[in-house]
Structure formats: structure tokens, C-alpha cells
Amino acid sequence: MAQTKRKLIDLEVAIGRNLRDIREKAGVPRELLVLSAQRVGIPWSVATLTLIESGRRRLTTGELFLLPAALTKIIPKEHHPLRNQVTGERGDFEIQDLIPEVLPQDGQLALTPDCAAYPIGLRKLIQLQGVRTTEFEHLYSVGFTTRRDREQPHYDEVTLRAARALHVPIQTLALAAITLWEGHTFIEERDERVRSRVPEGASPRYIQAVRGHVARDLMQELRAYLKKQKATSHARQR
């Protein structure tokens, strides 16, 4: 199966664009964000912020740590990051919120000339919240790629078949899985659900039947998630 070429975007450019999107969606002019930044110790001018939002000036490490506080103080609460999908609770801005959630064309963030990351992998690595030790391998094997990985991608046959069935690039499906199932790959989520549903001493035939039912459930969940992501992406581009 032919691999879809992934678009690489410089991390600084992506953060600048995301910062602009956050500010504009909240209806906050540059002058107010600059004032808020100055109050937390970032000596910006409007010209500096303009350069950052256009990707022509990098954030320093100190600015990266202080900027969430500046955003929290000036961005209206209703535009703060959503922390709980069920209750609708919103929280203060954090560093991972500066990283865009998705990029067009299944793109990746260029961290160095030899390493790139999907936004979800980088956000989870920064956040480190609810990530089990065993999941770090998946963050790097799925969320991050080196130049060699991009030249020689490798995925298990089950994930490849699922991607073909859903008519999406393999990287898109792999990222959807770890996002939807909290770091689990398709196979890991399938096997965990099978273990929870199969009684002790069940026959191989019964286990196989349960595995088939679970796989179909997972495919439906992925299909719904990818449809929602596509609709969100189209809405943002309008």
C-alpha cells in the first residue's frame, strides 16, 4: 500500500499559528495579550507578538513557560481549554495547549532535522498526565518518528487492515487509536476488552468469536472518531 507523504511543519511556526488562533477566536487584540504577557514577565511588544504569530520569531524557553499564565489571565473563561468532555469543565492554559491538536494533511511537527512528532504525541509527552510507564514506548513508536521511520514505516498487520477498511492512511489510524483509547494501539485495546469479557476456561472458538465482536466495535468507534475529526478540520479551515 502506498504511503501518504506527511507534511512537516516547524514547531515554532505551528505554535505561533496556534497562539494566533487562540487569541483571535477569543476576540483578544494583540495589544491586550502583550499587556498580559508583560504583567507575567514577558517583555513583548506588539511587533514581537506579530513576528511570533507569523512564525518568524521563536519563543524562548522562559516565554514558553510563562505564556500559559498570560493567556489564562486575558483569555475569557469560555475560551479556556476544555478539560472534561462530560461536565464541560474548562481549566487554565498549560504548555501543551500551545501545541495544536491536529495539523492538515496528517502533518507532523519538525522538532529537529531528524525527528518529527505528531501533535498528540508531543502534547501527551509534555502533559505526562495519566500516562503509564508502559505507554512511553507507544508515544515514541507511534507519536514520534525519526527520518528513518518516515522512510521505512512499519505497523502490525491488524492495524494495516483496519486502515485499509476505513480508507485512511495508516498513520492517521494509529494516532486515532492512541488518542481515542488513552495510549492503546488497536491490538492492545482489542486484547484488553477481550480479556475483560472472556470467562476463565473459555474455549478457543468462544474467544475467537468475542475477539471478532470486539474488533467490529473498535472499528465503529474509530469510524465515528475519524468522521468527527474530519468535520472539525473542515470547520477550522472555513
pTM tops 0.85: no
Residues 24 and 103 in one domain: yes
Question: pLDDT (tens digit, 9 = 90+) per residue, 126-156?
Answer: 765 544 444 444 444 445 555 545 544 456 7
Residue 132's closest CA among 167, 80, 184, 177? Answer: 184
Residues 46 and 129 in one domain: yes
Kindly state whether residue 164 falls inside one of the protein's structural domains: yes
Domain that holds residue 176: 157-237
- For 34-71, the pLDDT digits (tens) are 999 999 999 999 999 999 999 899 999 999 999 999 99
Q: For residues 45 and 107, state if they share a domain.
A: yes
Q: What is the domain count for the chain?
A: 2
Kindly report the three-state secondary structure assignment for every residue of 31-50. HHHHHHHHHCCCCCCHHHHH
| pLDDT tens digit sequence for 105-130 | 667 888 877 778 878 777 777 765 54
